């Protein structure tokens, strides 16, 4: 395992990156506003599992293949963008449904949708492939084991601000739910946010 100096450097860098709002945090925010705290927590857990897919991929070298192939990178990127757009459209379609129906459905599927959303994000693969090796020390143990441990810690640190956002957004969602008009508006806002995320992902440069 890395020495103390590398551990401290890793925690400092990973913590700073974790609190910077990114697509993952905005995705969790949208789901929390749309389905409440339960949906947000399930989404957070799903994105964590999706991130773990990339960590394992980095361990066995699949991420390197993805990043090295411009075609593979482009296909995965566009698939992820299309999925976010689909979620946005579905959220807008359900905007006028009662909370008991729309919110429950979102919670039921939020975990699986979170996994797919993060697993189809090639930028996450690129992040783990370029960030984690900076703190790996080959002479202090198996590289794969170090990558896995650092990756899991990075995912955990990323989940902390996501949970915070979930709780805050979930409480706001409960307040908005007291007014049917505001409930509809915030659901529409959640759908629009997902559409913006999908559009931004699709418009991102395809170059890894």
- Which of 69, 47, 75, 56 is CA-nearest to residue 129? 56
Q: What is the pLDDT at residue 44?
A: 92
pLDDT at 22 over 80: no
CB–CB of 194/91 below 8 Å? yes
Domain extents for the chain?
Answer: 4-12+25-200
| Mean pLDDT value of segment 142-151 | 84
Distance CA 158, CA 156 (A): 5
pLDDT at 45 over 90: yes
| Mean pLDDT value of segment 118-135 | 77
Distance CA 208, CA 206 (A): 6
| Tokens encoding 112 | 């699986």
Q: What is the pLDDT at residue 102?
A: 40
| Mean pLDDT value of segment 146-162 | 90
Q: What is the pLDDT at residue 155?
A: 92
How big is the chain, counted in residues?
208
Higher pLDDT, 171 or 114: 114
CB–CB of 113/43 below 8 Å? yes
| Tokens encoding 14 | 């990973």
* Secondary structure (DSSP) of 92-119: HHTTTS-HHHHHHHHHHHHHHHHHHHHH
């Amino acid at each position: 395992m890395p020495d103390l100096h590398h551990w401290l450097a890793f925690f400092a860098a990973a913590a700073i990156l974790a609190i910077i709002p990114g697509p993952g945090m905005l995705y969790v925010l949208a789901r929390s506003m749309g389905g409440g705290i339960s949906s947000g927590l399930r989404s957070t857990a799903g994105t964590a599992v999706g991130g773990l897919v990339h960590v394992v991929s980095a361990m066995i070298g699949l991420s390197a293949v993805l990043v090295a192939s411009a075609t593979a990178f482009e296909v995965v990127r566009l698939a992820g963008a299309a999925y976010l757009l689909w979620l946005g459209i579905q959220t807008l379609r359900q905007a006028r449904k009662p909370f008991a129906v729309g919110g429950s459905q979102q919670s039921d599927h939020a975990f699986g949708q979170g996994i797919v959303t993060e697993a189809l994000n090639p930028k996450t693969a690129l992040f783990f492939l370029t960030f984690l090796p900076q703190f790996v020390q080959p002479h202090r143990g198996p590289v794969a084991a170090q990558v896995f441990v650092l990756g899991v810690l990075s995912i955990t640190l990323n989940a902390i601000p996501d949970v915070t956002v979930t709780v805050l957004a979930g409480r706001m969602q409960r307040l908005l739910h007291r007014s049917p008009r505001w409930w509809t508006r915030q659901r529409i806002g959640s759908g629009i946010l997902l559409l913006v995320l999908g559009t931004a992902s699709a418009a991102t440069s395809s170059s890894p």
